[in-house]
Amino acid sequence: MPPNQRSKHLKPVRLLLALLVLAGAWMGFCCVVPPSMKHVKSPRRGRVYNNCVAIVYSKHYQMSMGGLERLHSFDIRKYARIYLKLNTAGLLRPEDVFVPEAVTEAEILLVHTRKFLMSLKDSPTVARYLEAPVVAPVPNALVDAAILNAFRYSTGGTILAGRLALKHGIAINIGGGYHHAKPDAGEGFCIYADMPIAIRVLQKDRLIRRAMVIDLDVHQGNGTAVCFAGDDSVFTFSMHQGDIYPIPKESSDLDIELQSGTDDRKFLKILRKGLGDAIDRARPDIVFLQAGCDTLKGDPLASLAMSLEGIVQRDAMVIDECVQRNLPVAMVLGGGYSKQAWEVQYASIERTLKKYGITGGRPPHPRRNPTGKEKLYTK
């Protein structure tokens, strides 16, 4: 199609998409958002469970593109689903949550290039990073408000989780884990390299010298590996399926490749064997755990064969090891593309809260049924 005809053809498409995004944002903020989400005001101090576990979340993690976001394989509502179930199960109240600010440009520039920041002003480029062609024709101001803003808040959440882990021992960001983002480009649904940014912020503030990233998402943490290539102060450990994206792989300090079909028994055996030595080699002041649950059997983007219980045990193995070593650990959620993904990560967070955050393992608040608005919001 000649360029002038193409731009004529694109105009109504852009207008329609803009209207859809605005309608979605309006619905999201005015009609459907449940009151418990509105209470999550930004930024705000929360409550540390048992002086040990802190939960980080912001209502700004949600992306709203007028329903278009549902066309993507990433269930962006998984963060809200996990947050709301923690509320209805009596494990959490909105006032217990630590609410982050968005990451600042200066913080982003500790890892990313200015050229990369400029590239985000081009919607087709953002669409390529997110593997979401539907984003390409959307006006950039709306892409920034509806999508990039959410990534900035969840990256701020990973920084806050790092700070809280150093203070209290364990912190969980109900978001983050964008381990494919590189200094000069996003890829694989990832924009800002949240864990590297958090590590650089903590180093800059002289809160840590050394850090370790333990990446158990089914995909290799290729972006994290590139961000820390040649840097002896950060040890990157990635355990992932060998024959899927990203191909080719980058070099982490320790890479363990798994075969398609790896089940709980095999996965946990390999992790148990490698984890202690890896931490000994890393000598970190803090661990960032990327707990992607796309290792689950049936995940559409991979073919390992772990169960919900196996993934809970996997995360527990890392967190317990850190606690035994008195080593701060900040967990972020990463990938997970099956319908069950949010339930797996909920179960993992529930286990950590019940083991370390709550005396006797009993929920501290009454259980309740979700409200109609909450059900609607997380559908």
At 62, give phi and psi (nearest 5°). -75, 135
Query: Rule CB under 5 A: is residue 187 a binding residue for Zn ion?
Result: no
- CA distances to 15, 18, 23, 143, 313 from 12, rounded to whole Å, are 5, 10, 16, 17, 51
Q: How far is the CB of 218 from Zn ion (least distance, A)?
A: 5
Query: Rule CB under 5 A: is residue 221 a binding residue for Zn ion?
Result: no
Nearer to Zn ion, 264 or 285 (CB): 264
Query: Rule CB under 5 A: is residue 294 a binding residue for Zn ion?
Result: yes
Query: Rule CB under 5 A: is residue 219 a binding residue for Zn ion?
Result: yes
Length reported for the chain: 379
Whole-number Å distance between alpha carbons of 52 and 50: 5
Query: Rule CB under 5 A: is residue 217 a binding residue for Zn ion?
Result: yes
Residue 306 makes CB contacts below 8 A (sequence gap 6+) with: 262, 263, 264, 267, 295, 296, 297, 314
Name 213's bridge partners.
236, 288
Q: How far is the CB of 189 from Zn ion (least distance, A)?
A: 8
Nearer to Zn ion, 74 or 356 (CB): 74
Query: Rule CB under 5 A: is residue 292 a binding residue for Zn ion?
Result: yes
Q: Is the peptide bond before 328 cis (omega within 30 degrees of 0)?
A: no
Q: Which stretch binds Zn ion (CB under 5 A): 48-56, 59-67, 282-290, 327-335?
A: 327-335
Write out the binding residues for Zn ion, residues 59-98 only, by CB under 5 A: none
Nearer to Zn ion, 163 or 219 (CB): 219
Nearer to Zn ion, 92 or 302 (CB): 302
Q: How far is the CB of 89 from Zn ion (least distance, A)?
A: 26
Query: Rule CB under 5 A: is residue 335 a binding residue for Zn ion?
Result: yes
Nearer to Zn ion, 87 or 262 (CB): 262
The residue nearest Zn ion at its CB is 335
The residue from 180, 219, 240, 365 that is catalytic is 180
Query: Rule CB under 5 A: is residue 285 a binding residue for Zn ion?
Result: no
Name 54's bridge partners.
171
At 101, give phi and psi (nearest 5°). -90, 165
Residue 287 makes CB contacts below 8 A (sequence gap 6+) with: 211, 212, 213, 214, 279, 318, 322, 327, 328, 329, 330
Three-class secondary structure of residue 355 per DSSP: helix
Q: How far is the CB of 334 from Zn ion (least distance, A)?
A: 6
Three-class secondary structure of residue 139 per DSSP: coil
Nearer to Zn ion, 98 or 342 (CB): 342
Q: Which stretch binds Zn ion (CB under 5 A): 104-112, 208-216, 329-337, 353-361?
A: 329-337
Query: Rule CB under 5 A: is residue 328 a binding residue for Zn ion?
Result: no
Q: How far is the CB of 245 from Zn ion (least distance, A)?
A: 8
Tell me the HSE value of 310 on the side-chain side, using a 13 A CA sphere: 20
60 is catalytic: no
Number of residues that bind Zn ion (CB under 5 A): 5
What amino acid is encoded at 281 in this protein? R
Catalytically active residues are: 180
Contacts with Zn ion by CB under 5 A lie at: 217, 219, 292, 294, 335
